[in-house]
Every structure is written in C-alpha cells, then in structure tokens.
Amino acid sequence: MRNRLGVAVVVLSVLAGLRAEDVGATSSTVGYVRVTVPGNGGVALIGLNLKRANGTAPLKVSEIFGTGQLEKGDTPALADTVHVWDPDRGAGGGFITVFQRLDGAVYDAETLAALDPAIPAGTALFVRTKAGTADRQLFLAGEVVCEEVQQVAIPAGLSMFANPYVATLDLNHDVGGEWPGATAGVVPTLADNVWIWNPNKQVGGGYDVFFLHSGTGKWHRIDAPGVVASNAVLAVGRGAFYNAREPLVNQLTRPYPR
C-alpha cells in the first residue's frame, strides 16, 4: 500500500491493520507510531520507523519511550523491560536488557549500571510488561525518515530489523534487486530466514517464518514452501528477526512523497 506524507499531513491513513489514529504526524516530518504490548509479562517485537528529530545520532531507549510510558521500578522485576539484540554478545548474539528506575533513567538489568542503548531507525526491540499489569499503549515519537533511499545493513547471523520508513514493508515487493546479497535455497535450511512477529499468531503472539527460495527469488513460508508468501509483510511499528548466512545490504526507496 502506498501512503502519502504531504507537508500539511496531520494523520496518516490506515496501514496494514493499524487504525488511522495509530500513526500520525504533528508537523511535516515529526510523528508517532502507537503500538500495544500485552500486559502481565506479555511481549511485543517493536520496529522503530522513526529517527531523531533534527539529528543524525540514533534515538536512545529513554528518548523513544520518555519517562511516562514504561512501568518503572528499582529492580527489573518491578518494571517493564526493553530487550535490544546485540549480534556481538556472547556466541551468536544475545539480548541487552534494560529497565527504567523510578527516576526515569535507564539501567542494565544484569549489572544495574546506567545504560541507555541507541536504536537506529530500521531496527527492532522487544518490550516485556511487568507481571500483574494491564496492556500497555506505547507511543513511539520521532522524525519521519524522508531521505529518498535507505540502506539496510544486515550482518551475518541473527539480527533484528524493521522498515526505516513509516510504511508497511512487503518483503516480496518493496525491496529492490530481489534481495541482493541474500542467500536463497530450495529448502529453509539452505537459505536466509526471516521471523516476522505476529501478535495474533497465538495467545501472547508468535512468529510467521519465511525463507528465500532460490527458484523464485521470493520469500516462501516454511510451512508452505512451494508457494510465494503473500503475508511476508512488516506492519508499521512491527519488527522481525533475520538470520543471514552472509552479510548483505538492501536498498529501500521512500514509499511516500517528501
């Protein structure tokens, strides 16, 4: 779906199941994306489709969520937690887990040292709610990415990614050059795989899993390997895992007018 962000846009149209009020703009380029995280220890894989307003440095966790959205506590067990994937952590990568203390500062859940990870547009993170809490409505605020082209670098191994643009991303139609550099195969074990978070997959959410098929150059579901997938789509505000056999860089073109 093509979506337009004109100079005087106030609210964007419905995008891949999101209601119009879930995505909006407060000026020509500064906007928000609303996401829901299930309560009582539930999780959501959130994609960051926005960048820092009037700056080049990535947004930090404290800037994405502010001080009034996440449940705060003096220990991780008393707070919502944010989980950021680090491909260089341990053998094969792992999560950096942080939480907000009552003063609003962000701390490492393991060492309890101050740590405020940076999250570039086009990457993703998990949010887990505190046990015993209700569903959480979160507003991710920042500047809409207006550059005509974005390079999405994916390292070898497991990583997390999202669309850097405030738009849906159909892996089979919106990526130029048939995923140059990606590894395709006739079966999932020989190809790059993508896990797209689906909050409706089961109670608490789950993944739709795809692999890049060498016969078509398209993404196929692993449970229907003979058919090009029609649901290999990242909605606004949603993230995914990518398991790459080799590093690659994909080029995305802005899907809306400047």
Q: Between 187 and 23, whose confidence is greater?
A: 187
Whole-angstrom distance, CA of residue 120 vs CA of residue 117:
10
User: In this structure, what are the phi and psi dihedrals at residue 209, rounded to the nearest 5 degrees?
Assistant: -115, 135
User: Which residues are within 8 A (CB) of 35 and not within 5 positions of it... i.e. 6 or more apart?
Assistant: 22, 44, 46, 137, 138, 140, 237, 238
Whole-angstrom distance, CA of residue 126 vs CA of residue 206:
13
Whole-angstrom distance, CA of residue 256 vs CA of residue 51:
16
Q: What is the pLDDT of residue 225?
A: 92
pLDDT tens digit sequence for 212-231: 999 999 999 999 999 999 99
Q: Between 32 and 241, whose confidence is greater?
A: 241
What average pLDDT score do residues 232-238 get? 92
pLDDT tens digit sequence for 16-55: 233 334 554 444 477 889 999 999 999 999 999 988 887 7
Closest CA to 58 of 143, 157, 127: 143
Name the pLDDT band for 176 (thresholds 50, 70, 90).
low
Taking a C-beta distance cutoff of 8 angstroms, is the pair 254, 4 a contact? no
Q: What share of the chain is helix, strand, coil (3-state, %, to 5)?
A: 5, 40, 50
What average pLDDT score do residues 239-252 get? 91
Name the pLDDT band for 146 (thresholds 50, 70, 90).
confident
Rg (CA), the chain: 18
Q: What is the pLDDT of residue 219?
A: 94
Closest CA to 24 of 109, 139, 128, 126: 139
3-state SS class at 218: coil
